Amino acid sequence: MNPLWTRHEIAQATGGRFIGDVPGVTGVSIDTRTLEPGDLFFAIRGDVQDGHDFVPAALSRGAAAAVVSEERASEFAEAGPLLVVSDVLRSLELLGVASRARSSARIVAVTGSVGKTSTKEALRLALMPQGVTHASVASYNNHWGVPLTLSRMPRETGYGVFEIGMNHPGEILPLTAMVRPHVALVTNVEPVHIQYFRSVSAIADAKGEIFAGLEPGGTAVVNRDNPHWERLRAHAFASSAGRIVTFGEHETADVRAERIIVKSDTSIVDALVFGQRVTYRLGTPGRHIAINSLGVLAAVHALGADLAIATLALAEASAPAGRGERTRLSLGSGDALLIDESYNANPASVRAALATLGSAETGRRGRRIAVLGDMLELGPEGAALHRALAEPIEAHEIDLVFTAGSLMQELFTALPRSRRGEHAPTAADLAKTIVQAIRPGDVVMVKGSNSTRMSTIIKALKEASSTDHAVVAAEG
Ligand SMILES: Nc1ncnc2c1ncn2[C@@H]1O[C@H](COP(=O)(O)OP(=O)(O)O)[C@@H](O)[C@H]1O
Ligand SMILES: [Mg+2]
């Protein structure tokens, strides 16, 4: 066995004390539901649960050892091997820092208001054919997600891809200091989690923190099209970055799209990468994804990886569930297309999704239908930001809009009658209406903040599709 961490390395990194026989560990876990035998289980305290309550379960599922705090160690004397530390989360951070210190990987860190996970996944795809690539799982981008991803990084990693997120000022700083990226990319700055900030400029400052962790001489990658790009650039200047690279459609961008052709299920991009012409296809449709891809290429270039291999890989990308995943719904006499955007929503991502819906091809007599749930965490501007969506709905010629939630009601009443479908208080109340409204040829896009449970509607549509009857009955 070539362990991820030997007993000696773990003890050195964390300063903890082992009890029991632990030669080494093959993985790191904080969640018994996904734990693999051989993992080192850290009993982290979350918002709801305390990992200490799951120590016996972790050990019986084959954890090599459980990392527990001094105060509670005595409870687990009989449960199995332990690593006793003064602070469990701190020890995970220390293991992460040790992982970074031993690694010779080229590291890229991604933050931004929207598109972090999409960009992180695109970077993973682009780098995977070029070396052993290790990347954050899902959106593991916070105070535990980042050290967890670091501590899991295999020794032989060639490229490390880290997503870093935040809800408040100051949160990115300690995370980027752990990751110490060679390349740091900010996808964009938008009013997301705005209720925790004074202004969108304050969000730019918080995103700009990522550059403070750059290795000396590293590369800061900034979206030139974003209204806050100069503010980001100022943060990069103040850091130890050796270079600032811009991307976007702006004519001065270092990585610049000259032309983006958005098709129903793909986009074609003509780009100039430091003056070199590159034309590529993206497996995930949408103008916003094309813009993100310019940032991906800028980062690939800055890492010293191959652009041609990267662009070939991007053609293979497909949108994950909740972030644009497409499903054909079989409606008996024909098909409809479902676009699942139910994972989250804010003004930027809803506008992007409406644009993509607008360029989706409908079947004969099909309609473009948006099903929208509330965008949360927008603070006092919330109602106005919802009403303002009437404009992109008009611009992208969305035929029908269904809404759920009290904020989306603001939008519903702001829409012209011809575009109004129905409004309901919750997603669950709307599900049946949507199932009955959909017809062959339609394209339906469902989006809302995760906690509005718009995924309930996705589930209902898929179930109706597999059993057929509900939808067929509604056709006439
Ligand atoms: N550049 C962008 N502009 C607007 N919306 C975007 C952009 N990139 C991605 N999105 C959309 O934002 C939503 C969240 O994407 P994701 O990559 O998960 O972002 P994050 O990790 O930052 O939350 C998805 O609906 C996605 O399609
Ligand atoms: Mg994410």
Q: Which CATH number goes with the domain that contains 74? A: 3.40.1390.10
**Ligand 1: nearest atom to the Cα of 112:** 22
12 C-alpha to ligand 2 centroid (Å): 32
**Helices 116-127 and 307-314, interaxial angle, to 10°?**
120
**310 & 331 share domain:** no
Ligand 1 and 295: CB distance under 6 A: no
Write out pLDDT tens, residues 354-411.
999 999 999 999 999 999 999 999 999 999 999 999 999 999 999 999 999 999 999 9
116 C-alpha to ligand 1 centroid (Å): 7
**278 & 233 share domain:** yes
Q: Which residues surround ligand 2, an ion (CB under 5 A)?
A: 116-117, 139
**332 & 460 share domain:** yes
180: left (phi over 0), alpha (psi -120 to 50) or beta: left
- Residue 224 in any domain: the answer is yes
Final residue before a domain boundary, out of 314, 344, 369? 314
Final residue before a domain boundary, out of 88, 122, 141? 88
- Residue 190 in any domain: the answer is yes
150, two tokens: 């670091």
Ligand 1 and 291: CB distance under 6 A: yes
- Give pLDDT tens digits along the chain (476 positions): 579 999 999 999 999 999 999 999 999 999 999 999 999 999 999 889 999 999 999 999 999 999 999 999 999 999 999 999 999 999 999 999 999 999 999 999 999 999 999 999 999 999 999 999 999 999 999 999 999 999 999 999 999 999 999 999 999 999 999 999 999 999 999 999 888 999 999 999 999 999 999 999 999 999 999 999 999 999 999 999 999 999 999 999 999 999 999 998 899 999 999 999 999 999 999 999 999 999 999 999 999 999 999 999 999 988 888 999 999 999 988 999 999 999 999 999 999 999 999 999 999 999 999 999 999 999 999 999 999 999 999 999 999 999 999 999 999 999 999 999 999 999 999 999 999 999 999 999 999 999 999 999 999 999 998 654 433 333 32
pLDDT at 471: 36
pLDDT at 444: 98
Write out pLDDT tens, residues 448-476.
999 999 999 999 999 998 654 433 333 32
pLDDT at 403: 98
Cβ neighbours for 48, distance < 8 A, ≥ 6 positions apart: none
d(CA 148, CA 114): 22
pLDDT at 476: 28
Ligand 1 and 288: CB distance under 6 A: yes
378, two tokens: 């927008």
**Ligand 1: nearest atom to the Cα of 349:** 5
Q: Please count the structural domains in the chain.
A: 3
Ligand 1 and 456: CB distance under 6 A: no
Which of 146, 186, 349, 452 to probe ligand 1 with, by most ligand atoms within 8 A of CB?
349
Name residue 135's beta-bridge partners: 161
468 C-alpha to ligand 2 centroid (Å): 34
**141 & 47 share domain:** no
pLDDT at 467: 53
Ligand 1 and 226: CB distance under 6 A: no
pLDDT at 472: 35
CB 293, CB 314: distance < 8 Å:
yes
Ligand 1 and 353: CB distance under 6 A: yes
118 C-alpha to ligand 2 centroid (Å): 7
**Ligand 1: nearest atom to the Cα of 356:** 27
Q: Which ligand is nearest to the CA of 140?
A: 2
- Residue 93 in any domain: the answer is no
**75 & 189 share domain:** no
**141 & 281 share domain:** yes
The CATH number that applies at residue 306 is 3.40.1190.10
- Residue 362 in any domain: the answer is yes
Final residue before a domain boundary, out of 267, 288, 314? 314
Q: Which ligand is nearest to the CA of 116?
A: 1
- Residue 26 in any domain: the answer is yes
Which of 110, 111, 113, 114 to probe ligand 1 with, by most ligand atoms within 8 A of CB?
114
**279 & 131 share domain:** yes
d(CA 347, CA 288): 13
**177 & 276 share domain:** yes
Which residue's CA is the nearest one to ligand 1's atom 9? Answer: 115
d(CA 222, CA 230): 9
Compute how many other C-beta atoms are within 10 angstroms of the C-beta atom of residue 60.
11
Ligand 1 and 450: CB distance under 6 A: no
153, two tokens: 């990084």
Q: Which ligand is nearest to the CA of 344?
A: 1
Q: Which ligand is nearest to the CA of 187?
A: 1
Ligand 1 and 352: CB distance under 6 A: yes
**199 & 222 share domain:** yes
**337 & 297 share domain:** no
348 C-alpha to ligand 1 centroid (Å): 8
- Residue 197 in any domain: the answer is yes
**Helices 7-14 and 88-102, interaxial angle, to 10°?**
110
**Ligand 1: nearest atom to the Cα of 113:** 22
Residue 124 burial (10 A CB sphere; 0-12, 13-18, 19+): middle
Residue 226 one-letter amino acid: N
- Residue 95 in any domain: the answer is no
The CATH number that applies at residue 458 is 3.90.190.20
Q: Which ligand is nearest to the CA of 450?
A: 1
Ligand 1 and 117: CB distance under 6 A: yes
- Residue 180 in any domain: the answer is yes
**304 & 285 share domain:** yes
Residue 437 one-letter amino acid: A
Matching residue, tokens 């819906």: 357
Domain interval for residue 123:
103-314
Tell me if residue 404 falls in helix, strand or coil.
strand
**Ligand 1: nearest atom to the Cα of 291:** 1
Nearest residue to 185 via CA among 251, 260, 272, 255: 255
**310 & 345 share domain:** no
